[in-house]
Amino acid sequence: MNPTLYLLVAMVVLALVLWATRERFQPEFLDKRQVQKTVAMEDSSYTQQTNHMMYGHADMGSVSGMQTPFQVNQYKAYVQ
């Protein structure tokens, strides 16, 4: 037989083996937390809820260093 035909048959067999042994979709592993948050906020999304802001007051102490002209959101940047 022609070597090109062997290569073609091998590629088809490899494709079938890879397709047959692939990992199937598991819906129970999906992360549903964002869906729950969306449903909770569907009536009004005007309240600010973020993962990095603490609610209430947290005393962080004084900032050391020299203030720079840069700012991210409401936070000023400081260089030590």
Q: Give whole-number Cα distances, 77 to 53, 54, 64, in Å.
A: 17, 19, 11
Q: How many CA atoms lie within 13 A of 27 on its CB side?
A: 0
pLDDT of the chain along its 80 residues, tens only? 789 999 999 999 999 999 998 888 888 888 888 888 778 777 765 666 666 655 566 667 787 888 899 888 888 888 88
Q: Which helix (H) or strand (E) holds 69?
A: strand 66-72
CB-based contacts of 79: which residues, under 8 Å, 6+ apart? 65, 66, 68
For the chain, domain boundaries: 1-25
For the whole model, what pTM was predicted?
0.35
Phi, psi angles (nearest 5°) of residue 71 = -145, 140
